[in-house]
Amino acid sequence: MSSQEQRRLDQNRQQTPELQQLATRLQHHPYQPPPGFSAVEPGVHHASTVIFPTVAAMRARDWRNKDGYTYGLHGTPTTFLLEDRLASLDGGRHCVLCPSGLSAIALIDQALLAQGDHVLLPANAYGPGREFVERVLTGWGITHSVYDPLATSEQLAACITPDTRLLWLEAPGSVTMEMPDLRGLVAAAKARGVLTAIDATWAAGIALQPFDLGIDIVMQALTKYQSGGADVLMGSVTTRDDALHERLLFTHMRLGLGVCGDDAARVLRGLHSLPLRYAAHDASARRIAAWLQTQPQVAQVLHPALPGSPGHAHWLRDCTAAAGLFSIVFRREVTTERADAFVDALQLFKIGYSWGGPVSLAVPYTMPAMRPGWNEGPLVRLAIGLEDAEDLMADLQQAMQRAFV
C-alpha cells in the first residue's frame, strides 16, 4: 500500500463509523481484508466501477496496460488471469475475452477490415460467422469470397486480390469437417501480406499449435471445451504480435465487449480438467466413429482422424489429437425424414446446438441449403460427451434400428 493510500485509509478511519448513519455505513466501511489469502481457485471479482486512490492515479492510468485496473469493461483480476492462462495455452502472448465465440469472430473482422477491403472465408466456415460477413460487412462496403476448404496453396493464391486483407481458416470446418492444408494456405497468404485468423475451437489449444504454423490470430469459442460445462458463452482472441493485439484491443474497447467475472471463473475452473476431458472425448469419439463406419446405413463418417476423411493427411501432419465432434453421412436412399427419425429416437444423445460439454448431442443439418451442390445423403453431426462409449453405441444402434425399419 502506498503512503498516499494509507493516509486516505487513516482519514476514513478518523470519520468514526459509529457517527455515521446506517445507510452510509452500509456503503462505506473501513474494514480491509488482510493480504495474503491464497486458495486453489482465485477470487471472483465483479466490477463495473474500479476505485482509484487519488485523482492523480486516475489520470495516470492507461486502460491498455494490465499492470492495473481502469473500469470493469477493460478487465478485472479474474478476467486478466483467464486471458493470461489462455494466451499461454494457445502459445500466444496476448489474449482478449469476448462475450461469445461469435463476438470474437466479429471483433476480428471489425478490427482488421475497412471499406474497400476483401476477406476470404472457407466454404465450411462456422455459419453465423459467415453470415456476419454476408449480411453486415457487405453493407459496409467490404467484399468477400468463399474458397474450397481443401484448396491447395496455388488455388487459394488465385482467390487473393490486391484488396484482400484477411484469410479466415477453420480446422476442421464446421459440420463437414474438412481439415485444410493450413501450411499451404498460410504460405499463400503470407506471400501476399494477407493476415491469417483461425477458428481453432475444435483444437481447443490442445490438438493443434496454430502460431507454430505461422497463423497470426487464434480465435476460440471457449463455450465448447474450455468451459466444458455447456453453461457458459465466451470467446477469445489470442495473438503473438504486439501491434496486432493493440488493433484488436482498441476495437474490443470501442465495441464495449466485456465478460462477467462469474463466467470467467467458470472457464478458469474448466481449464483444470481440459486436457483430461479432451482426451476422453477424443478416445470415445474415435471408437464410436470407427464403429459407425461399419453400419449398413452409413455412407461416410467425417472425422479428420479417420483414414478416408477429407483432409485426413493434413490432420496427420499437423495435429496431435482430435476433438469429440464428427458427422455421419447416411446413404442416399436414407430420406431426410428417416434421418430426423433417427435423431428423435436417440435417448442419451440430446438434440441441441453446441458441443464440448458433458452430454452427447446430435444435430441433423440441411446440407443442400448449407452447401449448394451437395448430392450425398442426410448428414447428422454428433458431439460425443463424457458418457460411457459402449452405452452411446448402444443408443445409436437402437435409434438406427427404430428409424431404419
Residues at the site binding ligand PLP, with contacts judged by CB under 6 A: 100-102, 126, 174, 199, 201, 221, 223-224, 233, 235, 354
CB of 297 to ligand PLP, least distance (A): 26
Per the CB < 8 A criterion, the answer to whether 168 and 199 are in contact is: yes
Nearer to ligand PLP, 311 or 377 (CB): 311
Side by side, the strands of the sheet bearing 143-147 are: 94-98, 235-239, 217-221, 195-199, 164-170, 118-122, 143-147
Nearer to ligand PLP, 199 or 282 (CB): 199
Nearer to ligand PLP, 126 or 365 (CB): 126
390 contact partners, CB below 8 Å, separation of at least 6: none
Other CB atoms within a 10 A radius of the CB of residue 335 amount to 12
CB of 75 to ligand PLP, least distance (A): 20
Any alpha helices (H) in 273-388, and if so which ranges? 274-292, 312-318, 336-345, 367-370
Nearer to ligand PLP, 104 or 392 (CB): 104
Any alpha helices (H) in 212-328, and if so which ranges? 242-255, 261-272, 274-292, 312-318
Containing H/E element for 96?
strand 94-98
CB of 353 to ligand PLP, least distance (A): 8
Per the CB < 8 A criterion, the answer to whether 304 and 311 are in contact is: yes
CB of 179 to ligand PLP, least distance (A): 13
CB of 132 to ligand PLP, least distance (A): 11
Per the CB < 8 A criterion, the answer to whether 305 and 312 are in contact is: yes
Per the CB < 8 A criterion, the answer to whether 237 and 257 are in contact is: no
99 burial (CB, 10 Å; 0-12 / 13-18 / 19+) is middle
Residue type for 72, please? G
Nearer to ligand PLP, 74 or 224 (CB): 224
Nearer to ligand PLP, 151 or 221 (CB): 221
Query: CA-to-CA distance for 375 and 236, rounded, in angstroms?
Result: 36
Nearer to ligand PLP, 176 or 201 (CB): 201
Nearer to ligand PLP, 132 or 404 (CB): 132
Phi, psi of 366 (to 5 degrees): -90, 90
Query: CA-to-CA distance for 169 and 148, rounded, in angstroms?
Result: 11
CB of 188 to ligand PLP, least distance (A): 22
- 3-class DSSP state of 394: helix
CB of 300 to ligand PLP, least distance (A): 21
CB of 325 to ligand PLP, least distance (A): 8
